[in-house]
Amino acid sequence: MGAESIVRVEGLSHRYSRDWAIRDISFEVDSVGVVGLLGSNGAGKSTTMNIMCGVLNQTQGSVRIGGVDMREDPEGAKALLGFLPQNAPLHLELTVAEYLRYCGAIRNIPGSRLTGALLEVMETCGVAHFAGRLIRNLSGGYRQRVGIAQAIIHKPKVVVLDEPTNGLDPNQIIEVRRLIKRISERSLVIFSSHVLTEVQAICRDVMMIEQGRIVFADSMHAFNNYVVPDSMRVRMDNAPSVQDLLDINGITQVEALNEGSLRLRFQGGIEISKKVVERSVHLGWGLREIVMEKGSLDEVFAQLSRKK
């Protein structure tokens, strides 16, 4: 079964000095798409990805990429991988085309195919018009695109992206998301983030790591059903006072967002939204919109721990 899986990780553990960074990480993925690796900073995401990509030797356990064991045949396994670490390995003194040609040569793409591969990956990543520009003169978003291009120039089975949207502005984040979705049409993309909304936006499946262990592994749909909302965003024409809202049994906090919009934090289940609707109709608050929200990442981990 392992030979048929794109990625198979079993019993992965790693220790720095006396402290364990990850313990008994196991999962298997056998189809293309985007899989999210979600966790707070220091949870063990980067350690897991570095081991998967052969950058770090694990203390225990095994990693197989396309049926190839990373420890027994690292060159064979790495040939099936593309990796973008948190700090993209860019050579700022080279042009985009020079750098990607260099990366293609390292990946043993034959000379007869290298130019074609270069043109294709620059087009895919939207950097063809910057082919002759020095990487040091690119914006953060385009540098990230070049980093992703080096990871996919050899068309790997698995693409591992460690916090690829970190530090980007909202427009750049949207463009990188689109690029990741495009790549996932033919490769398995493993995407790590500490931002819950990023994983929810693009991932088919999600694994959550906390304190070096997997605390949740399932589809994004199952995750959204598993984690209970703990706040709602409302918009009203005639918003009441904060105290009037706090008088609704179950609402614990009211936060003003902008004119007419509020965030209501609550306890006791989503039926509280019915109370808000009923009170709004009865007192003429002019309710225009009500949207249930998931909690912050810390709150999600707390919910998962309680359910465990």
pLDDT tens sequence across 103-118: 999 999 999 999 999 9
Pair 257, 207 in one domain: no
For residues 246 and 290, membership in a common domain is answered with: yes
Q: What's the CATH number where 87 sits?
A: 3.40.50.300
Residues 166 and 290 in one domain: no
Q: Do 246 and 200 share a domain, yes or no? A: no
Other C-beta atoms closer than 10 Å to the C-beta of 116 total 11
Bridge partners for 215 per DSSP: none
Domain count for the chain, please give it.
Answer: 2
pLDDT band, residue 296 (cuts 50/70/90): low
pLDDT number for residue 2: 41
Domain check: are 46 and 76 in the same one? yes
Q: Which two tokens stand for residue 245?
A: 């809202």
> Which of 226, 246, 269 is the C-terminal boundary of a domain?
226
280 and 186 in one domain? Answer: no
Q: Are residues 214 and 242 in the same domain?
A: no
* Contacts made by residues 295-303, CB under 8 angstroms, sequence distance 24+: 295/227, 295/229, 295/230, 295/231, 296/196, 297/38, 297/40, 297/194, 297/195, 297/196, 298/40, 299/230, 300/196, 300/208, 300/227, 301/40, 301/208, 301/210, 301/215, 303/227, 303/228
One domain for residues 100 and 154 = yes
188 plus 54 within the same structural domain = yes
Domain endpoint, select from 171, 196, 226: 226
> pLDDT per residue over 10-19, tens digit each?
999 999 988 9
pLDDT digits (tens, 9 = 90+) for 28-60: 999 999 999 998 888 999 999 999 999 999 999
CA distances from 224 to 171, 199, 228, 254, 267 (A): 25, 11, 8, 24, 18
The parent domain of residue 269 ranges over: 231-307
Q: Quick one: 182 and 219 in the same domain?
A: yes
CATH number, domain with residue 283: 3.30.70
pLDDT of 259 higher than 90: no
Angle, vertex CA 254, rays to CA 250 and CA 257, nearest 5: 145
Domain boundary among 226, 241, 264: 226
Confidence band, pLDDT 50/70/90 cuts, at residue 229 = confident
Pairing of strands 60-65, 7-16: antiparallel
